[in-house]
Amino acid sequence: MTDIKCDLLVIGAGSGGLSVAAGASQMGANVVLLEGHKMGGDCLNYGCVPSKALLASAKAAYAQNNTAALGVADQVPQVSYAAAMDHVQGVITSIEPMDSQDRFERFGVRVIREFGHFISPTQIQAGEQKITARRVVIATGSSPLVPPIPGLADVPYETNETLFDQRTKPDHLLIIGGGPIGMEMAQAHVRLGCKVTVIEAARALGKDDPELAKIVLDSLRDEGVEIAEGALVSKVRGTAGAIEVETKDGSIFKGSHLLMAVGRKANTDRLNLEAAGIATHRTGIQVDDELRTSNKRVYAIGDVAGGMQFTHVAGYQAGVIIRSVLFGLTSRVKTDHIPWTTYTDPELAQVGMTERHARDVYGAKLEVIRFDYRHNDRALAERKTKGFIKVMVAKGRPVGASIVGHQAGELISTWSLALANGLKMSQIAAMVAPYPTIGEINKRVAGAYFSPRLFDSQVVKRAVRFVQRWIP
């Protein structure tokens, strides 16, 4: 057994763990990083990167057969599912060096390729190494949640951790789960030539504003995706190529392949948290607003902390705890400025409060301002007019923004900036956006907030008439 002492031990080499390790080491801390599986974690290998790469292939296929409105004849795409998956792997391979062990060792991080578990409140064992650390950051992420559905253990199924290894196109993909992962993969596969059925126990895209989600769901249905909502799965049966999913109401859905996309679970099983006195709850490790666990020397960030499960959240939290871990400064997380995007076509993006939440909080004091894509010249030029933005405003400041449409994930960043810095709508309206861009939508919705105040105000009109009468 080798004894190692360090200032900071990071468990998990996903987005959050890598950010902490690199930052701390480059600022002079003695850092050890543990990773028992793949460097880069879920996002690089099984999540954000491969899913967006597959969506890019699907978008290219869809575009070939949907260009007549632009004066270019539609062409039936010749899709190679295996080649699309090779593209996915190629993207992963091109990004891997940024997350590699070699790169982080050049930063001065000691990387140990082992899983670790606590043996005391301050000590972790990883293989033949016993590590004593002044501070520990748990960044072990999450894994696909596979519920105990009767019959599922006897039926072949995919999760996001296995899907991108496939090279044979599914004839008919059944997806259990209508959240962002399920809907993104549904659209990707229907555009690549598969039949797709999504089976959702409640409401598809249920965490988003239902008015915006409907536009996405209608678009997917128009492309051929069957979406069954309020369909609670009761049992699964069949063999490879012939799978049946039965729901509580007796409906039966038949397909060739099955993808489980019902959610995520925090990766805590290997950690032996009890030995460190670290409390957990239903969704992960219990942390306070400084991301400290019940063991004050240990922090948890990212999916394992049981909050918003997005790669950019883990990166943000990494920046927050660096202040505490390295400098002993108080640094607290907040979530009202954290955006999220579902990368369907059209995209669906949210930051801050939804309209329903904002109405509950602000009541009659809330103003909801809207602007449609069909009034944006660039959207008209590119035939991308489906969608709209709505911004929830209270006391002259945005408290939330919801966008559905082309490049919604790009547009939402402006509103994250506004919420993070307490900006007023007047400051958004003062922005100058180049013409013609989709980005003008953000400025135009801010303008829509002020239009009635300027053009429908009798006070303003009287002031203008006075000035025009008396000022030479």
Per the annotation, binding residues for FAD are 52, 116, 140-142, 303
Number of other residues whose CB lies within 10 A of the CB of residue 334: 11
- In contact, 279 and 286? CB cutoff 8 Å: yes
Half-sphere exposure of 46 (CA within 13 A, CB side): 18
Q: Which two tokens stand for residue 317?
A: 């939290």
Residue type, 232: L
Furthest CA-CA distance within the chain: 91
Q: Alpha helices of 224-376 — where are they, by DSSP H?
A: 311-327, 355-362
Q: Binding site: which residues?
A: 52, 116, 140-142, 177-184, 200, 263, 303
- In contact, 335 and 308? CB cutoff 8 Å: yes
Q: Binding site for NAD(+): which residues?
A: 177-184, 200, 263
> Which residues are within 8 A (CB) of 441 and not within 5 positions of it... i.e. 6 or more apart?
371, 373, 376, 379, 389, 403, 405, 411
Question: What are the beta bridge partners of residue 231?
Answer: none
Burial 103-132 (b: 16+ CB within 10 A, else e): bbeebebbbbeebbbbeeebbbbbeebbbe
Distance of alpha carbon 386 from its chain centroid, rounded?
22
Distance CA 24, CA 11 (A): 14
